[in-house]
Chains A and B, each alone.
Chain A
């Protein structure tokens, strides 16, 4: 049983080393701080924003398309202006951020579960299961993500759940491929042989022994995929295939502002775009550094 105990004992030092190596890049720290602030703003949106942008009763159509800094009928200031519905852009943005993050992180997590399970299974069982799973992965990865998402949304129709489903379908293959590749290497190691000699159940070996050792690349992929998922959700929503108009995500807010941009009312599209951009860039900065730190090939 020493194989299961060993990681727990050694956990302290590798984790500290990981933290110090991660902190070596100032850019990555900026990304981490940025993302934390963004996530906090999104989570705390109901307590920060002056207005609930989804409550139609609080919206005043008379306040529509006001430039940033205009006073509202209710007394507060529209820091970033209002959209055509009279929605405070600042409030709308933070709520939109909530939806974007929820969809992005949720689909990435779900895809991680599905993808890594299938990847583990393919690597551990091998044979025909491996061939079938990996063929599907190859086939899917040969098509661009937007096309796969379009196909699914074309078949299922619009809607948040359908978007999440489409994102999971787009992303799972990346996890499966990564986890399988790592697991193929790990499963030949002695500790797996030892576990097999102990005649532990397959499930236990796969999830307790194999999976923890596949985590580093999985974390890297997951970070990148969250950013991709957020961008793709925004794109789909922009195209009008995503979330409903009553609860706009960042992408839909940008789409709403599109028609007014030509008349110089830039703020409706501009600020949600900046929020989207900052979110994606900060996640990518963290992801890049994670990749450098966790990639065993770059080490030593």
Chain B
């Protein structure tokens, strides 16, 4: 188990190294680092000074080490637009994105599992078929358009939910959160639903497939032969078997959800780091772009690592195999 975790950590480390190389190549080789890292408004003397200061006249491999050194020290330059350290800027936007993504993931379980369970238990019923057809839409619909339609329906026509923004926030651990206030929750509902649509379809299909696969198993029949109530058979015996793959997939999807929050945040003007990166790309605020990419890659790798470890702990069968 321990050697497995260590090996997994090493893998993650190499991916991080690979990503620094890719981002470095992207910024310093494909693009012109002078343009990328120096504000376009700087004059000639300023430019020369910064080039020397940043070591852009040094050989490439040395520059790479400077870059890695800077990254390790959390120094990724200052935003041209906000004139703040890029990393700090992203850090300040991250809670909004995280709470949105986590809520979306919770939504995907809260909606996906019951719907999938129903579709799996009654595959031939009208509702069961409708759920499956709906899930195809969930995969096909471009999420930004669904977001627009949600706004049109609930904010413009019905006027029951606010269309954009984070609403009122409250502080916890010194960070502002929307989920702590009623107004914030109202603001969060639509974006979170929009962001979770794909995952709801995914979880729904996984759950349905799991139910179809588990129901004919002997151990389900044996559980019924014990005289358990249908409720307990489904909620404990069937669901526990399904929850392992579902939790794994949902966990793995957290990273994608954070990445796709870029779209949802743009639609709902949710002030998270996804909206920040789009704004930054549009105004070529490159230090922020580089910082965002490094952050999200790191986040991604961490999530994958944690999910892998949790999965191993969750499933007794996997646990045994890794022990042996």
Contacts and interface: CB of A to CB of B under 8 A. Distances in A.
Q: Do A and B bind each other?
A: yes
B148 interface: yes
A154 B293 contact: yes
A273 interface: yes
Given A154-B293, A262-B155, A273-B149, A227 B140 contact: yes
Contacts of A288: 136
A234 B22 CA distance: 26
B145 A273 contact: yes
A293 interface: no
Given A155-B27, A234-B142, A277-B140, A146 B293 contact: no
Interface in B243-293: 255-256, 259-260, 262-263, 266-267, 277-278, 281-282, 284, 286, 289, 293
B154 interface: no
Contacts of A258: 148, 267
A72 B31 CA distance: 47
B127 interface: no
Nearest to B301: A142
B194 interface: no
B228 interface: no
Interface in A71-85: none
A281 interface: yes
A54 interface: no
A235 B194 CA distance: 14
B21 to A, nearest CB: 12
A35 interface: no
Nearest to B153: A266
A172 interface: no
Interface in B10-41: 15, 18, 22-23, 26-27, 30-31
Contact of A240 (B15, B151, B255, B282): B282
A122 to B, nearest CB: 19
Contacts of A234: 142, 144-145
Contacts of B289: 154
Contacts of A147: 259, 296, 300
Interface string A253-280: 0100010011010100110010011001
Nearest to A255: B144
A154 B36 CA distance: 11
Contacts of B284: 157
**Residue of B139, B144, B148, B255 ringed by the most chain A CB atoms within 10 A:** B144
A139 B297 CA distance: 11
A238 interface: yes
A261 B268 CA distance: 13
Interface residues of A, number: 38
A142 B303 CA distance: 11
A262 B156 contact: yes
A144 B101 CA distance: 14
A150 B144 contact: no
Contact of A276 (B27, B145, B296): B145
The contact size tier of chain B is 35 or more
Given A234-B142, A273-B145, A261 B156 contact: yes
B300 to A, nearest CB: 7
A258 B149 CA distance: 10
Nearest to A261: B152
B137 interface: yes
Contact of B259 (A144, A155, A251, A280): A144
A241 B263 CA distance: 12
Contact of B278 (A139, A240, A276): A240
B163 interface: yes
B140 A281 contact: yes
Contacts of B281: 150, 153-154, 158, 241
B304 interface: yes
A264 B23 CA distance: 43
Contact of A277 (B141, B152, B255): B141
B151 A146 contact: no
B30 A262 contact: no
A277 B156 contact: no
A290 to B, nearest CB: 15
21 contacts: A143-B297, A143-B300, A146-B260, A146-B262, A147-B259, A150-B262, A151-B22, A154-B293, A156-B30, A238-B142, A238-B144, A238-B263, A240-B278, A240-B282, A258-B148, A261-B156, A266-B152, A273-B142, A277-B141, A281-B137, A288-B136
Interface of A: 139, 142-144, 146-147, 150-151, 153-158, 227, 231, 234-235, 238-241, 251, 254, 258, 261-262, 264, 266, 269-270, 273, 276-277, 280-281, 284, 288
Q: Which 6 A-B pairs have the closest CB atoms?
A: A155-B26, A144-B256, A273-B145, A147-B259, A144-B259, A154-B289
Given A154-B26, A154-B277, A239-B266, 4 more contacts: A142-B304, A147-B259, A150-B262, A154-B286
